[in-house]
Each structure stands twice: as structure tokens, then as C-alpha cells.
Amino acid sequence: MAQVEVPPAVVEVELRPAPPVDMRRALRLGFSGGAAMVLVAATGIVATFQERMVIDPILPLGLMFLYIVALAFGWMAGQPPQTLEGFAPARVSGRNYGAGTLAGGLAGLCIGVLVILMSVFDLRGVFVELSPALQSILTFDLAVPVAVVVIAAISAVAGALGAGIHALPTRTKKTLLPALTWVVIFSLMTDLFGQLFTGLSLDWLTTRLYPRRGGPLTITGAVIVFVVFLALHWYLSGRDTSMRQQVSAMPRRRRLGVRTAATGALLIVLYFVPQVMGPFVSQILVTAGIFLLMALGLNIVVGYAGLLDLGYVAFFAVGAYTAAIFTSPQSPAFTPQLALIAALPFVVLAAAIAGIMVATPVIRMRGDYLAIVTLGFGEIARILLNSEWLSPYFGGAQGITNIPDLQLGPFHFNTPQDYFYPIFLFVIVAAYITLALQNSRWGRAWMAMREDESVAEAMGVNIVTAKLSAFVVGAILASFGGSLYGAQIGSVFPHSFDIVVSITILVIIIVGGMGSVPGVALGAVVLIVLPNLLREFSEYQFLFYGVLLIAMMLKRPEGFIPSKRRAQELHQEEVAQDAWLEIYGEKGATGEPIPEGKT
């Protein structure tokens, strides 16, 4: 009955040479790179950050930003084509460097054209940022014809360097690039590292790296950072097996021991984080934690159950306002003045009711329609809280103030450092709930509903219950975030519950990786922590968001750290081929018998 499929015989085939690098692609990339460089110049990034030094005094951020674009496009142009079955792996040759140089040089010429145009016409009427100051930065104060040649030459070199990255041996690549990245990170996050070293009583390090307090990284500092991280990454890349593999190879008891120790160490580090990082960074972490809490909740609604909820902020508002009403003495209508912890059951109840209220009308709706209706709900919540009509209960635009701090027995939570702990406790609980539900009866029912609602129903899933429960679980997690937010800020106002919050949370889970807890956490770091740490670039925050989102959707639609299944879903053919190789190729090649059940 069961037919045994014979694995394809492994035959020695003469490999065909890999196709050469596509020069026409390099040409196209050159023009795209040129457009990107002109954009960088015209949006004012070059001129604004020319004074900001990455390495004092030799590398200004503005020009580095400009020529990094040339480098990146050179890297793309010089990329050897993917090795296909039956072809020899591509080697990096002069042609790769040629492609990189071509792309970089072309991109540089575009900037050259911009410089010529700027010297002939006054473009400031249209592009405000194309100022004489920019002109002088771009031309290095040289005569225009000379400058054009110089710019093109620098870009070409940058492009060639980019292409050269492909020629580096893997280990060098894995060492050099991270070390360079660390230099840039140390340079951009001066405040963060200054605070970190102060917290760790390493002030001497701060003076070494950043001689001017809060100033840029010096050459000595850059060299120190570079060497330290070079050594670190060299050591790490030299190991044959990663730590994770080593741990999973251990016997069960030892593995358990190592895991417990690692978790313990992590908890201890987490315990000291707020003390070491001080109020500024702690506040950022607290904000990120609240967003993370909500993102985990929305992940259940959107990632598991596939219900695109664009009004998720409504549940955040319900949590914040319920907690405020039950705890604040300034609550307009009803002042029980409970402790936050005693008010939590009411918060959960209110969130559950709100979840049911939103879910009920959308029970028979799918996809886009559901998204629009929830979008409406989000706005309704904000407008009601803001309205004169309900101001006797919610305080209208004045909101509710004087919300007391969280108090747990003898512990009084006051500063951002204090709030770090309860918020991360909630985050851990939410992460646990997410994971526990993934492999459960309702978790599967939600996923089935996401995949095909009518088939899920025909296979016995009660769609009404499934939708209600997904919304309720999501709403409760958001309401925890809301109540902690209110207590930490001390007041709640309707305008804090804008649609932008909903969008941000959604973007966090999309960028991070839908359905994956570490992914969502990384998403919160990228979208909440980084913009707050890099305040000096806040003018261009949304430009970077846009670029990030477009790049992600093109290159990595499954997010930074996708759940395993989503990655498979979006890269189906690749996985299918890999699986085939795994099953037949390697096993067949080594002549091992094919394991039972794989035929």
C-alpha cells in the first residue's frame, strides 16, 4: 500500500560556471543610489549633521551618511549572484569591484549634477535645504568642475569598498563589520554610554572615549572601541559551535542547570538595569515596556487570530481611565480611591466588557471591513473621553489628574526606575500567556480562523467565541499597560490615546515579527527605544521609519525575528528546497540509510 519513494540518486555532475555579475543591474543601482544620495542631501541631513562628528575631528556624520549610501549601493551591485543548483559558487573577481565602482561612481555623478545645478540656479525656492552651506560642504570648497570629479571619485571608491565586502573571508567579515558598527553606535549614543559608565563607576572610560563631556568620540576612543570589539567578535566567530548548540547538546540535567543559571543571571542584570541606567534611560525603558505589553496583546488579536484591529488604543484608554477613576481622588464622578492593585480586577472587567463590545459587531465581518470598524471604535473611544457630554465622568479634555503611585505593601513606586520592575513583570506575564496560548486548543482555533474562517467554522470552531475570546485577551493585556501608564504619568488625558498609538503598536509587531515574542520585543526596541535614545535626529525620525518600513516589506516581510512558521510561509519555495536537500541530499550523499518514516 505505502509506496516507497526512491530518493534521487546523487550523481557527480560537472558544475557550470556561475553567471558573472550583471553590469546592467549595477547601472540601474547606480542611478537609484544617486537618487538616494540626492534625497539625503536635499532633505538637509548632510548640512544638519555636518557639525556632528562621528569620530572627532576626521569624520563628520553628514558626509559619512552621504557616502555610506554609495557604499551600500556598491555592495548591492557587487553582490555575486546566488549559487544555484548545478552551478559552481560564484567567485568575487575584478568584475565585482567594477560593478561596485560603476554603481558608486554613477551615484556620485548624480550628486555632481546636483552641485552643478546648485551653482547655476538658485534651487532654494523649491528645496529649502539646498543652501550655499550645503554647496560648500559637498564641494569641499573646491571649484565646481574639480569638485564633481572629486565627489565621483570618492563615491566610486566607496562603491568599490562596498563590493569588496563580498571578497572578505567570512570570519573577517563577521569581525570587521560588527566592530565598525559598534564604533558608530558608541558615537551616536554618547549619552547612553556616558550614563552606563557612570552607573558602573567607570567614569575614567568616559573621559577616555569622550574627552569633552557629552561630546563626540575621539580618534583614540574610536580606536579603543574598534579594537575591543574586534577582539570580542574575533573570539566569538572562532568558535565552531554557537553557545545555543553547545547547551542543547548537554545532557538533560546539566542543560536544565545551565538554563536556570542563565535565567537567574538575566534576572539579576535586569534588577540592576534601572539603577545603572538612571532616570532618563529608565523612563525610555518604561515607555517601551508599556508598548511591548500592548504589542504582545495585539499580537494575539492580529498575529494569532488574524483580526486586524486598528483601534487597539481604545483598550489602552479603557485600562488607563478605569484605573484612574478607581484610584484618583480627582476622579469627577466616583471616587472610591482604591489602591491600584485593588482596582486591577475592575480594570480587567472593564477591558473584558470593552473587548466584547468591539467584538460583537464584527463577529460576521472579515479582513478589511473588520479593520475599518475597529478603526472607528478607536476614534469613538477617544472622542467620547474628550466630549463635554461625558466630562462629568471622565473629565473631558482636562482628563483625570492626581492618580496616586503604585503601592505594594511597603514598596512605593515613584521614579521611572521603580516602575521598571512592575512593568517588566507584566511583560513577562504577557509573554508567558502568548506562549502558553500558542499550543493550546483556543490558540489553534484562532490560527485556524486566521487561515480560513469558514472552514474553521465547518471544522467545529465556534467563530463567535473565538473572536470574542481573542479580543478579550488582547483587551486585558492592553488595559494592564493603560493602568500602569496612568499611574506612572500621574494623569490621563484623551489626547494620549490617539490613533498613532494603534499604528505604532501594529508597526512594532509587523517590523519585529508577527507571532514571535522575541520579535515583538525587538520591534519595541527599534521603534520606541531607539528614537528616544537618538533624540538629536528626531527631525528625521519619520523619514527613517518610512525607509525602514519599505526596506522591511521588500526584503524581510516576516519581520526581524519571525516566528518559524511565518518565515516558512513567506519564503515557501526556499524552505521547500532546503527541506528536500535535508531529507535526500545530505543523507543520500553520505550513504546513510534514510530514517524510518521519511519515505
Partner 1 sequence: MALLEINGLSKDFGGLRAINGLDIHVDEGEIVSVIGPNGAGKTTFFNLITGMETPDEGNILFGDLNVVGLRPNQILQLGMARTFQNVRLFPAMTVLENVMVGQHCRTRAGVLGAIFKTPGQRAEEAIIEEKAKEVLSFFGTRLAGYRHDQLSMMLSYANRRRLEIARAMATEPRLLLLDEPTAGMNPRETVELTELIGQLRSERGFTIILIEHDMQVVRNVSDRVVVLDHGVKLVEGSYDHVSTDEKVIEAYLGRPAEREG
Residues of this chain that interact with partner 1 (CB under 8 A) are 1-3, 433, 436-437, 439-445, 447-448, 451-452, 454-463, 469, 473, 565-566, 568-569, 572, 575-576, 579, 583, 595-599
Q: Minimal distance in Å, beta carbon 132 to partner 1?
A: 56
Q: How many CA atoms lie within 13 A of 84 on its CB side?
A: 6
As given in the structure block, the three cell numbers for residue 211 are 574627552
CB-count burial class (<10 Å; 0-12, 13-18, 19+) for 56: buried
SS3 56: strand
Residue of 211, 176, 219 whose CA lies nearest to 190: 211
Residue 91 or 564: the one with the smaller Cβ distance to partner 1 is 564
Residue 51 or 578: the one with the smaller Cβ distance to partner 1 is 578
As given in the structure block, the three cell numbers for residue 19 are 553567471
Q: Minimal distance in Å, beta carbon 348 to partner 1?
A: 12
Q: Minimal distance in Å, beta carbon 443 to partner 1?
A: 7
Residue 18 or 575: the one with the smaller Cβ distance to partner 1 is 575
Task: Report d(CA 159, CA 148) in Å as an integer.
Answer: 16
Bridging pattern class, strands 407-408 and 59-60: unpaired
Judge whether 74 and 163 are in contact, CB under 8 Å.
yes
Task: Report d(CA 328, CA 234) in Å as an integer.
Answer: 56
Residue 129 or 457: the one with the smaller Cβ distance to partner 1 is 457
Q: What residues does 408 pair with on adjacent strands?
A: 411
Judge whether 275 and 287 are in contact, CB under 8 Å.
no
Residue 181 or 462: the one with the smaller Cβ distance to partner 1 is 462
Cis amide linkage into residue 531, ω under 30° from 0: no
Task: Report d(CA 259, CA 253) in Å as an integer.
Answer: 10
* Cβ neighbours around 454 below 10 Å, total: 10
Residue 144 or 365: the one with the smaller Cβ distance to partner 1 is 365
* Cβ neighbours around 327 below 10 Å, total: 29
Task: Report d(CA 267, CA 265) in Å as an integer.
Answer: 5
Helix (H) or strand (E) holding 71: helix 61-77
Q: Minimal distance in Å, beta carbon 437 to partner 1?
A: 5
Residue 539 or 582: the one with the smaller Cβ distance to partner 1 is 582
Task: Report d(CA 407, CA 477) in Å as an integer.
Answer: 20
Task: Report d(CA 392, CA 385) in Å as an integer.
Answer: 10
Q: What is each CA distance from 286 to 264, 274, 425, 589, in whole angstroms?
A: 21, 10, 12, 53
Q: What is each CA distance from 223 to 209, 219, 237, 261, 321, in whole angstroms?
A: 9, 6, 21, 35, 52
Query: Please, what is the angle between helix 94-120 and helix 61-77, to 10°?
Result: 140
Residue 92 or 429: the one with the smaller Cβ distance to partner 1 is 429
Judge whether 520 and 477 are in contact, CB under 8 Å.
no
Residue 414 or 462: the one with the smaller Cβ distance to partner 1 is 462
Q: Minimal distance in Å, beta carbon 3 to partner 1?
A: 7
Long-range contacts of 563-572 (CB under 8 A, 24+ apart): 563/303, 563/513, 563/514, 563/515, 563/516, 563/519, 565/515, 566/513, 566/514, 566/515, 566/516
Q: Minimal distance in Å, beta carbon 366 to partner 1?
A: 15
Helix (H) or strand (E) holding 55: strand 53-56
Say what the alpha-carbon torsion angle 137, 143, 145, 151 is, to the nearest 10 degrees: -30
Residue 258 or 353: the one with the smaller Cβ distance to partner 1 is 353
Residue 400 or 437: the one with the smaller Cβ distance to partner 1 is 437
Residue 387 or 572: the one with the smaller Cβ distance to partner 1 is 572
Residue 278 or 306: the one with the smaller Cβ distance to partner 1 is 306
Residue 235 or 580: the one with the smaller Cβ distance to partner 1 is 580
Q: Minimal distance in Å, beta carbon 446 to partner 1?
A: 10
Residue 290 or 473: the one with the smaller Cβ distance to partner 1 is 473
**What sign results for the dihedral spanned by CA atoms 455, 461, 464, 466?**
negative
